[in-house]
Amino acid sequence: MKGKGFITVFFMLASTVYAQMPDWTFFKDYVGNNYFINKAGKIVITKAEIKYDEVSIPGLEYCFAKAELYYKSGYIGNSLRILKSILLFPENDARVKAYRVKAESFRKKIHNLNGDRYFHFDRESTPLILKKSDSILLANDVMGYQISLTGHVKILKNKWRLGTVLYNGFLAGVNIDSQVSKGYDYLLAIDSQRFSHPKIDIDDFISDVQNRLLYDKLAKEELLRTDKRVEYLITHDGEKNLAGIETVVVKNNYGYILRIITTKDNFFKKSATIKSISENFMKDL
């Protein structure tokens, strides 16, 4: 498939909440969201698609209305994902500032109403997805990282594991140039762990990950090493014929593994983009 990836997964849960009324006005915003405006000037969304929503400044009205609908429909994690995404936008104008205030007020309400259950929904809300003019920002505020990508992102898997070590792992398919595809340009996975002790050694973390996560047998060539960061070129010959970058980072009591993988042909075609993502991940260390 001309260098595309090899996984196509999709899921959607939709329910009709309202029937369209004759006096509603149909509206389509700058980023393609469809909704209605009723006689009272309120935004009405007729379907609640359960997905990882991309939140954008042009679509703030739609996104906030959808957060409200998610909450009313019992999808609290999805509601929080939108609210917390809105809170990540800088207050560049009065409109954004107003929606940040509304989002924080709603988030506090959810926290107060749910007590300790809030932390379950807070984990469920990640990753946050912000659509900017030329990039997509994925953020996990629970595990303390952000990553910026170009193109279209589809979250394929997201898993939490609780215990003395808090673990989150997610997998995304990314198309750099277009979202219209039967596959992906590359797969991106981030495994993050929060340990109970205050600081971790990077070699101990790598050893722990090998035992805990049982990664597949990919050949690795070390490209960079510091006391907080190791980067590898990863390859797999034979039928899979894969290549990519793996970046291991430790920060205080957190450990992260970023893996970007694709076909070898596609890796060399997109190597500048893939290496840039790796180099910019947790680059403030």
User: For 26-44, what is each residue's pLDDT tens digit?
Assistant: 555 444 556 455 565 544 5
pLDDT over 90 for what percent of the chain?
A: 51
CA atoms of 184 and 18, how far apart (whole Å): 35
Is the peptide bond preceding residue 127 cis, with omega within 30 degrees of 0? yes
Per residue, the 3-state secondary structure of 208-222, as one string, reads HHHHHHCCCCCEEEE
For the chain, the 3-state helix, strand and coil shares in percent, each to the nearest 5, are 30, 30, 40
Q: In what order do the strands lie in the sheet with 136-140?
A: 128-131, 136-140, 145-149
20: DSSP letter:
P
CA atoms of 110 and 255, how far apart (whole Å): 30
Q: What pLDDT, in 10s, does the model give residues 119-168?
A: 999 999 999 999 988 899 999 999 999 999 998 898 888 999 999 999 99
Query: For residue 36, what pLDDT is reported?
Result: 59
- Please name the helix (run of DSSP H) or strand (run of DSSP E) that holds residue 251, with its range, or none: strand 242-251
Closest CA to 128 of 116, 117, 143, 114: 143
From 13-27, 74-88, 246-260, the region with the lowest mean pLDDT: 13-27
Distances (CA, A) of 165 to 193, 208, 209: 6, 11, 12
